[in-house]
Chains A and B, each alone.
Chain A
């Protein structure tokens, strides 16, 4: 089940970057293939070519509905990706309530929400940014005060269900209820949480939710906006009557069918994800922390996704770690500035107050059901020498530990 690439170690590559994207499940691929060839009809057509396709989309909609615990299948709107779902939700709330010019969100959102909100600020909207503490947790008292003080001016609250970098889970169901009580719409970017956290949206006060296919073993290029019945809505794309006029554009049928199947499989594997996958994640973290000095897990470790662990290796830089891991056939990701080409390390690490010397060395390991315990042991064995090798190069590292009195021993002129 692992990708067929080979590295210098001669073993198959270990893929621990499932929060970035996942492999499409072979069963899902099988399911979607006929829609490129035999079942190519346009679901809007009257003839039988289109008819069957329309039924397949309906089935996919019900499969997504089941995973989310939504009350109606018509609450599922297929989109092109998580980002489109996020933009649609937030811009719809602003368009539908033009008298409300304020938004509440968090400082640790995915760029899909973060960049949009920053752009809206330039456009004259007010964005209230909820801060996080050292473990990446929100202060609900601050949130409650904001809702009370500014409630009638707030168009929408948008808070991610789980953080993509640390896996930290936010209490979105509770926050949605608080928003409802204040008469404010609530949206959650649940791209990382869907399929890993059980959901029953029918019983929640969440008005809108975004999910992305490629995070749960469906292909890239398909997503969903869950839209609770009765939520005031203005489409982002107008045109044809697809998705009941809420998202015009001919359906990406093969990917929609694939997403439906992937949701069905995700529901079946939810238990496995929260037991076996979680145990692999826990073993990896424990193994690395035991073998490597001066490293620590980031985020709210007691309350996070079962597949994610983010470890900060102090005094070394993430991209260098990733390059050496890659050479050893291990794929992960980093919050360092260099990996993204930006000047600052990850906004999530900065928001948690992680010092620069550690924030640049954060590595995210994210699992899927295709990983094995053998792979975990391989990573545990590979990481300590890589860290030691880079620390040996680091001016912040002495003989066998961080240099004491760095002010005196290494005080670079900062550019």
Chain B
């Protein structure tokens, strides 16, 4: 049996708002029948204020799917639709005191149901662009589809690359065989062979000679390049309701501020290591990216508060 938190069990055994709503203003139906979960979220929305007055759900699914649905209805009641859309799957998981990595998709389904319901209310068509693959890295909940897409998009060649970009394989390392299989398959698409020895050489090289900062580039040029990398990753983060800004540069250390969905997310360190990797490639030197709090609270945090 899964190691569910007491909160998950509580919401499963006593689900809140589990009922059929009469004449809902919005309906969000999502699910993955192969995976064994499907969720209908129904909302009552105040026409003038767009405040969610009531939320109810029906779920076909496992313990964590039912618990995620239940806690979601509690989170969004009283919020406006725009505020509710800022709720991330991590918020749902946090409210449940965490979910096992294999079960994080249950919280994703909750967020998707919410997006679908809001789209339904606004007369928009919601399309799901999230494809889910078999879970490869259990330490950081990274699935095969994500690894494959990242390998393809960034021309990754080694297990270490994959760990730097996706975090997969950065924990217990038991999934390295699975990651190697994906690399072998994707590299074969372009007629390239996976070379495990290259990975190890790179690993040793990294350990043996730490690079000297700032060789060749002027300070201005360095900062410009650092800014360019940050600008390049921002659109991707903004799509997930997050953002990143440059705070300061001190030698080989780059201080950034993560906001919105990025801050506090368990994927934050993944984001940071991804940015770090890209800076190192762009500048050709060792860079350490350190997330720091902003001087004032991020705007997203303010927005999350429910108006009195």
Contact = CB atoms under 8 A, between A and B. Distances in A.
Interface of A: 315-320, 322-324, 326-327, 336-339, 341-345, 356-357, 360, 392-396, 410-415
A357 B66 CA distance: 16
A340 B65 CA distance: 15
B1 interface: yes
Interface of B: 1-2, 9, 12-13, 15, 18, 29-40, 58-66, 100, 102-103, 105, 108-109, 112, 116, 126-128, 130-135
Contacts, number: 120
Given A394-B59, A415-B35, 10 more contacts: A318-B62, A319-B62, A323-B13, A338-B62, A339-B62, A343-B135, A356-B33, A356-B34, A410-B29, A412-B31
B199 to A, nearest CB: 20
Contact of B35 (A324, A343, A411, A413): A343
A393 B66 contact: yes
A114 to B, nearest CB: 15
Contacts of A396: 38, 60
B33 A357 contact: yes
Chief secondary structure at chain B's binding surface: mixed
A76 B58 CA distance: 55
Contact of B38 (A319, A322, A412): A412
Contacts of A336: 36, 62
B62 A415 contact: no
Contact of A320 (B12, B112, B126): B12
Contacts of A326: 1
Given A395-B38, A412-B30, A343 B63 contact: no
Contact of A393 (B59, B130, B135): B59
Contact of A338 (B15, B29, B61, B133): B61
B29 A343 contact: no
Contacts of B108: 415
B36 A317 contact: yes
Contacts of B2: 319
A415 B31 contact: yes
Contacts of B13: 323-324, 327
B58 A394 contact: yes
Contact of A410 (B40, B105, B109): B40
A319 B4 CA distance: 12
B12, B33, B62, B64: residue with the most chain A Cβ atoms closer than 10 Å? B62
Contacts of A343: 34-35, 132-135
Of B31, B38, B105, B135, most buried by chain A (CB within 10 Å of CB) is B38
A315 B35 contact: no
Most chain B Cβ neighbours within 10 Å, of A315, A318, A338, A360? A338
A317 B37 contact: yes
Nearest to B38: A412
A411 B29 contact: yes
A342 B40 CA distance: 23
Contacts of A412: 29-31, 33, 38-40
